[in-house]
A = this chain, B = another copy of it.
Amino acid sequence: MTERATDRFDDWLRARVPARGLRPKAAAVLEVLLSQPRRASYGSAAELAQLAGVNVATVTRTAQALGFAGWPALQQELRARYMSSLSAGQVAAEHSGTGSPSARSLRRDLDSLALLNRRMDEEVLLTIAEAVAAARRTVIVADGSYAAVGLALAHNAGLAGYDVRAVTSGDAELANTVAAIGERDVLIAISFWRLYESTVLAANVARARGARVFAVTDAASPALAEAAEQVVMVPAEGVAFFPSLTAGMAVAQALVTQLAAVDPARTSASIEAAEGMWSKFGLLHRRPSGG
């Protein structure tokens, strides 16, 4: 299957990690390699270093630690693997558009979503959806711009009839909410690009309290992966300075869709109730059924 292509890419790279493991900064470099293969396969060592938040030298040393002669050697292998994982599927395309930043951004998101589509393991999403469905309550931790994804997830899950709350407004609220987490609860940590200290902390505390913890991220940081039962990897590479939230949003959407399928009756009832309320409050401009 096509899905295996990217898996092979990941596995291949991970298999080269030496027995004694990787130092923190080297691990950071590896994360970037896995989460942004395109950029890594084209860019220079210096560019990669900046993305990983390390010095250029560390990139070279990481390449050597992975068993390559240096960065160019690693990059060459990377190119071959990544490209073949891309072209593994049917290649049919229609592509037009000029090089304006917005057009490039759209194209990039399309690429990322294609990558996500192939890489995504549905089993993981199913596991998370079932956990949320079974939970007493679900808390979503999402800081920075990722808050948007968390909010969307919480909103729609709520609509589907589940108690899902997004914590997005700072450490104080986060502390209070985490304090109330218990054994029958679920915590989902959403984090792209930069990992906030408080997110890791919240995940660890929740885990210690017996809650089930999941993570949605663009790079499997050891700190987060350790606390999480399952990690959903999402490409978040953007064309400008900002990581793209598009693929993350697609995952949120997929998760809610899966959640809605766990107990269709419950979801239908919940949505019907919500629609009733909308009408009652006169919120909508054009009504669902023209009423």
The answer to whether A286 touches B246, judged by C-beta atoms less than 8 angstroms apart, is no
The answer to whether B2 touches A91, judged by C-beta atoms less than 8 angstroms apart, is yes
Name the contact of A126 in the complex, choosing from B102, B104, B114 (C-beta under 8 A).
B102
* Cβ contacts under 8 Å, A289 to chain B: 50, 53-55
Name the contact of A278 in the complex, choosing from B104, B194, B221 (C-beta under 8 A).
B194
The answer to whether B155 touches A144, judged by C-beta atoms less than 8 angstroms apart, is yes
Cα of A79 to Cα of B82 in the assembled complex, Å: 14
Asked whether A18 is an interface residue with its Cβ less than 8 Å from the other chain, the reply is: no
* Cβ contacts under 8 Å, A91 to chain B: 2, 5, 85-86, 89, 93, 110, 114
Contacts A110-B114, A152-B148, A253-B245 known; A197 to B92 CB distance under 8 Å?
no
The answer to whether B94 touches A118, judged by C-beta atoms less than 8 angstroms apart, is yes
Q: Count of chain A residues with Cβ under 8 Å from any Cβ of B?
A: 111
Asked whether A81 is an interface residue with its Cβ less than 8 Å from the other chain, the reply is: yes
The answer to whether A90 touches B118, judged by C-beta atoms less than 8 angstroms apart, is yes
Stretch from A63-71, A173-181, A255-263 at the B interface: A255-263
Asked whether A205 is an interface residue with its Cβ less than 8 Å from the other chain, the reply is: no
The answer to whether A84 touches B102, judged by C-beta atoms less than 8 angstroms apart, is no
Most chain B beta-carbon neighbours within 10 Å: one of A97, A117, A282: A117
The answer to whether A93 touches B85, judged by C-beta atoms less than 8 angstroms apart, is yes
Cα of A265 to Cα of B145 in the assembled complex, Å: 22
Residues of A264-291 at the interface with B, using a CB-CB cut-off of 8 Å, are 267-268, 271, 278, 282-290
Using a CB–CB cutoff of 8 Å, the interface residues on chain A facing chain B are: 1-2, 4-5, 8-9, 24, 28, 38, 41-42, 50, 53-55, 77, 79-81, 83-107, 109-111, 113-118, 120, 122, 125-126, 129, 144-145, 147-149, 151-152, 155-156, 159-160, 194-200, 221, 223, 238-242, 244-246, 249-258, 260-261, 267-268, 271, 278, 282-290
* Cβ contacts under 8 Å, A196 to chain B: 283-285
The answer to whether B241 touches A249, judged by C-beta atoms less than 8 angstroms apart, is no
Name the contact of A96 in the complex, choosing from B8, B194, B287 (C-beta under 8 A).
B8
Contacts A107-B117, A241-B260 known; A93 to B84 CB distance under 8 Å?
yes
Name the contact of A110 in the complex, choosing from B84, B98, B199, B290 (C-beta under 8 A).
B84
Name the contact of A5 in the complex, choosing from B95, B241, B283 (C-beta under 8 A).
B95
Instruction: Write the nearest CB–CB distance from A4 to chain B, whole angstroms.
Output: 7
* Cβ contacts under 8 Å, A96 to chain B: 8, 118
The answer to whether B107 touches A129, judged by C-beta atoms less than 8 angstroms apart, is no
Contacts A84-B107, A96-B8 known; A152 to B245 CB distance under 8 Å?
yes
Contacts A117-B90, A195-B286 known; A101 to B242 CB distance under 8 Å?
no
Cα of A106 to Cα of B256 in the assembled complex, Å: 11
* Cβ contacts under 8 Å, A238 to chain B: 253, 257
